[in-house]
Amino acid sequence: MTFKPSVKTERERAQMEIDDAIEAMSVLDNAIACGFLKDKHSLIAQEWIKEYKSDIENCRIFLDNNKDVKWVKKIC
């Protein structure tokens, strides 16, 4: 038997991922703004920020598309 997580659980995970990504972006932004990173490391951090932004967007799309979904457990 396989149980899939409920939509509520998936929505909670998506929101936690958004919160974590926002925090990570803040830390990276501050590190870049302080100017103590080497240029190549700053560029890497900027790429990471882009990745976090993409993750946030994907999670927000998931949350928007699953606002009123009724979940039915599927037993396989």
> Along the 76 residues of the chain, how does pLDDT read in single tens digits?
677 888 888 999 999 999 999 999 999 999 999 999 999 999 999 999 999 999 999 999 999 998 876 544 444 3
> In angstroms, rounded to a whole number, what is the distance separating the alpha carbons of residues 65 and 29?
30
- 43 in any annotated domain: yes
Number of domains in the chain: 1
Is the residue at 13 inside a domain?
yes
Q: Which domain holds residue 14?
A: 7-65
- Nearest in space to 21 (alpha carbons), one of 50, 63, 61: 50
Residue 35 forms part of a structural domain: yes
Residue 26 covered by a domain: yes
What pLDDT sits at residue 69?
60
User: 12 in a domain, yes or no?
Assistant: yes
